Amino acid sequence: MLFNIWCGGCNSMIAKGVRFNAENKQVGNYYSTKIWSFNRKSGCCKHEIVIQTDPKNCEYVIICGAQRKTEMFDVEDTETLELPADEERGKLADPFYRLAHQEEDLKKKKEAELVLVRLQRVSDARHSDDYALNKALRAKPMFLSLNWFVSYIIVMNLLPNFTFCSQSQTKRVLEEESASRKLGLSIRLLPASEEDGVTASGVKFSSKFERNRKDKRALIKAASIFPRSSGLSSSNKKRLELESKRRKICAAAASNLLTGGFKPSS
C-alpha cells in the first residue's frame, strides 16, 4: 500500500507498506504517459479496492473501495520547511507581486545570512583538519585524565588510601606507549628482561629451504640404486634391442677385420 487508507468494507485501517497481489491494467494515457489501474482485495474483508495513477499531479488516486487517511503535521513539530501553496506559486510568476514582496524577501535573507555564515565558520574551525584532530586525540594519554581525577579525589579526602602514580612511573608509561606506536602496536609493551632475551635466543625458526633439502635427501636415500626394468615402455624396449644388435654387429665386424676375413670398404 502506498499510504494509510480506511477500508470501505469494514472501516479498518490498512497501513502503508502492506503488500497485495493486484491486477494491473492500462486504462488511459496522459499525453505519452500510461495511466495504470491497480485492482486488489483487502485482507480484512475481501473488499475490492481500485487505485489509479495520476501522472498530471504525480500522485495516486483511490477510485473506489477505500478512503485515504488524512494526516496533518505541524511544521515546527516535524522540523521541516513549509512549501508554498499552489496559489502562492502562481503569484510568484507575476512580476508585480514579486516586486511588492522583494523588500521583505531581502530582509529575511539578510537575517538568515548572518546565522548561516556564523554556523559555517564554526563548522570550518572544528573540521578544518580532521587528521590533526584525530592525531591529537590519539596522542593524548587517557591515564593523565585518570590521574587528574584521582588527584582531585585525594585532595578532597574522598579516597585517602589511594596511591597516586609518581612522575617516574608516568614517564615510563609514556616511553612504553611511544615505543609501541613506533612498532605499530595498539597495546603497551612491558620492558624487556634477561629471561625474555634467553628465551628468544633459544627459539629457532626452520626455513623452507632447509625443510625442502631434508625432504629431497630422504627421498634419495629411500630410492633404489638399481634401475627399474618393469616400468619400461615398448618403445624403450625396442631401442634397447636395436642398440644390442648394433653392438653385436660392430663386434663381429671388428673380429673379421682383425682376422683378415674381408677388407673394409673405402
CA distance 115 to 127: 18
- Tens digits of pLDDT across the chain (266 residues): 888 888 888 888 888 888 888 889 999 899 999 999 999 888 888 889 999 999 988 889 999 888 888 877 676 666 666 666 767 777 777 788 777 778 888 888 888 888 888 888 888 877 777 777 777 777 655 444 555 555 554 544 444 444 445 567 777 777 887 888 887 777 777 777 888 888 888 877 666 777 778 878 887 877 777 666 555 556 667 777 777 777 777 666 666 655 655 555 54
Q: Where are the domains of the chain?
A: 5-71, 77-124, 140-190
- pTM recorded for the entire structure: 0.33
